Amino acid sequence: MDTLTRLEATIDERRRAHPGESYVAHLNHRGLPIMVRKFGEEAVETCVAALSGSREELILEAADSIFHLMVVLAAKGISLEEVMGELERREGVSGHEEKASRKPEEQ
């Protein structure tokens, strides 16, 4: 079992905990808008670190972003396997081609 798979299982387990005992449960208790906002904050912090931070800062912020994205995915009932399947589907396809194949509202 790899790190992301273990993290997904941990997030799933902690979603059911008491909000006072688990950060994941706390986020879930507060609702999807809060989870999405927190993910957005972490994504912005990752971008800032990429532009002006140290290598170590970028690593820390990237980990925070991945964690919070996984919390959002879990709240929406989307598994890491589904996301990996989409990445596998795109493997070997030009990014330009993949984007062109989407419906206009998806671009």
Quick: pLDDT tens for 45-73.
Answer: 999 999 998 999 999 999 999 999 999 99
Whole-prediction pTM value?
0.85
Domain with CATH 1.10.287.1080 in the chain: 3-76
Q: DSSP H helical segments within the chain, as ranges?
A: 3-15, 23-30, 32-52, 55-75, 80-90, 95-100
CATH superfamily placement of domain 3-76 = MazG-like (1.10.287.1080)
**Token pair for residue 35?**
């989870």
pLDDT, tens digit (0-9, with 9 covering 90-100), for 83-101? 999 999 988 877 777 677 7
Q: Taking residues 17-41, report their average pLDDT.
A: 97
Query: Which one, of 77, 67, 9, 14, lies nearest residue 43 by Cα?
Result: 67
Residues 99/90, Cβ–Cβ less than 8 Å: no
**Token pair for residue 25?**
């449960």
Taking the C-alpha atoms of residue 8 and residue 71, their distance in angstroms, rounded to an integer, is 8
